[in-house]
Amino acid sequence: MRPSISSWARSIDDAEREPRRRLSARVRRQGHGGAADRAATVSHEAGGALTDALDRAAGWISDRIMAEVAEVLGLTPAYVKGVVTFYTMYHQHPVGKNFVQVCTTSPCNICGAEAVMKALLEQTGAEDAGATSPDGKWTIVEVECLGACGFATPILVNDDFLENVTPEKVPEIVKKYR
């Protein structure tokens, strides 16, 4: 038997449950309008907050959780999966304690992103981009753009934005987050 939304929601801190309470109230006020109306009302503010709370609860969002979110919002599971797969801050599988995003677009590649990525993989023990290190502490991924082309190579370590990263700076960065 599948646990109810309320049973697993109890495992989330009160501060993280608050967005879900607001979401439920908005859905009730919205009534029985079409899915597009409900999506327009809740998906950006409340839906995003709920998905973020769910992501923080386990560190990743399983297909089961996405289905439950869809049920609460009155949306299709495909719509919720589309939101989760679009944003890089949501994970569909367990990731390391430190989630590192390396910008590998053309400007950053010209400035050494490939060497930064190689240094990160070597220093953390992660086998390849997208893989988690054997100790479970690091997941290193390539991302399309972090919006800091003038400060290449930028990386995002968890919620910390670092600019002008070079292979020489990587050991100190890894030491800081270890």
Which of 66, 86, 106 terminates a domain? The answer is: 86
40-91 pLDDT, tens digit each: 444 455 556 566 656 565 678 888 888 887 887 778 889 888 888 887 778 8
Q: How far apart are CA 97 and CA 108, in angstroms?
A: 25
N- to C-terminal Cα separation, the chain: 40
pLDDT at 167 over 90: yes
Which of 86, 107, 135 terminates a domain? The answer is: 86
* Mean pLDDT of the 97-110 span: 93
State the pLDDT confidence band at 139, using cuts at 50, 70 and 90: very high
- Flag whether 93 is in a domain: no
For 66, other C-beta atoms within 10 Å of its C-beta total: 23
The per-residue pLDDT for 17 is 53
Token pair listed for 132:
């988690």
Total number of domains in the chain: 2
Domain that holds residue 80: 5-86
- Give, in degrees to the nearest 5, the angle at Cα 70 between 97 and 17: 55
Weakest mean pLDDT among 73-77, 140-144, 163-167: 73-77
* Mean pLDDT of the 151-159 span: 92
- Give, in degrees to the nearest 5, the angle at Cα 68 between 139 and 82: 55
